[in-house]
Amino acid sequence: MKRSILYICCLSLCCFMSCSDDESTNYVPESKELSTDEIDVYFQENFQEKYGSTVRWQWIDKYVDINYIVAPAMRKVLIPTGEMIRRFWIEPFILESKASGEFIRKHFPPEIVCVGSELRNADGTRTLGYADAGVRITLTELNYFDLTNREWVIQQLHTMHHEFSHIIHQTYKMPNGFNKITEDTYTGQAWKDINTNAQAELIEKGISSPTTHEIDSVAQNMAIQRGMLTPYGTSSEFEDFAELVSLYLLTEPAVFEETYIASDPKRTFLDEGKANINKKLALVKEYYVSNFSIDLTHLREIILQRLNEISMK
């Protein structure tokens, strides 16, 4: 199966997520015998029966690429993980959708795989999340479950909402005209070179040992100049769309506006890219309203309110 790597620019250079390039979403997970185990009962009642989604948590090698070094999820984190998915993914769409949950029932991924550790690669890098053709999403690092760790929570939600947005555009096609706005600036696999180029630029400016934060900041600006939010978003119109939706939903409005939309007199070199991001955002918002009667701004309010509630506890 063809795969591409999704880099999260706010994390270290050795942290990745993966997406399948396969556009097909016609998939039915294999059947699973009913169990009386409390975890199986929870997922059966709250995911399989309600949304047709099978949650794989007991360790079976075939659900994870053999090239990864991994650890299974601990029992104690599994039901809390299910509640996190329900609280920050399922329920916000149900609350915003005008179809009483029909939208999420129709499009929720058929299979979710739970992994306790990161997916450790042989070269020492780690993969943060994984998705196959929009039908199987693998959540990683669940053994570090901590709702008070906002960075960890955002990482998990980014995986969920990024991959869910792929399911949407694979089912309904891309917003009309989205790919035309910056069609000449997508990089394909060369997106992987953006961070290397950012590091080289900093060294050329006299910063001999740039920090990961410094490299990520320059790399992000390189992406914004192209009209995308992240280096990975420059790889294709599809990843551009998924990054735009997921980061819009998970970023505080003022931060999103300052980072991706508003002109900065000190950084006028970003103005054209930001203007193009704003054009895409307008198309995406209209796309969700016209197709699903979903207001992304209101959906963001619901998600961020819930995130802020746990941050205050």
Find how far residue 96's CA is from the centre of its chain: 19
Q: Select from 3.40.390.70, 3.20.20.70, 3.40.50.11890, 3.30.450.40 the CATH code of 178-311.
A: 3.40.390.70
Confidence at 116, pLDDT banded by 50, 70, 90: very high
Strand partners of residue 120: 69, 126
As a whole number of angstroms, the distance between CA 98 and CA 46 comes to 21
pLDDT in tens, 259-309: 999 999 989 999 999 999 999 999 999 999 999 999 999 999 999 999 999
Please report the pLDDT score of residue 313 as a whole number: 52
Q: Where are the domains of the chain?
A: 3-160, 178-311
Q: Which of 108, 136, 142 is nearest to 39 (CA)?
A: 142
Please report the pLDDT score of residue 71 as a whole number: 86
Please report the pLDDT score of residue 11 as a whole number: 40
Please report the pLDDT score of residue 18 as a whole number: 65
Paired tokens of 294: 């979903």
H helices of the chain, in order, are 38-43, 49-51, 75-85, 91-96, 102-107, 150-172, 178-181, 194-204, 212-226, 237-250, 253-256, 271-292, 296-311
Confidence at 16, pLDDT banded by 50, 70, 90: low
pTM: 0.87
As a whole number of angstroms, the distance between CA 140 and CA 70 comes to 9
Paired tokens of 199: 């590091």
Find how far residue 271's CA is from the centre of its chain: 25
Residue 114 has φ and ψ, to the nearest 5°, of -105, 125
Distances in whole angstroms, Cα of residue 158 to Cα of each of 62, 107, 130, 262, 265? 24, 17, 12, 23, 30
Please report the pLDDT score of residue 118 as a whole number: 85
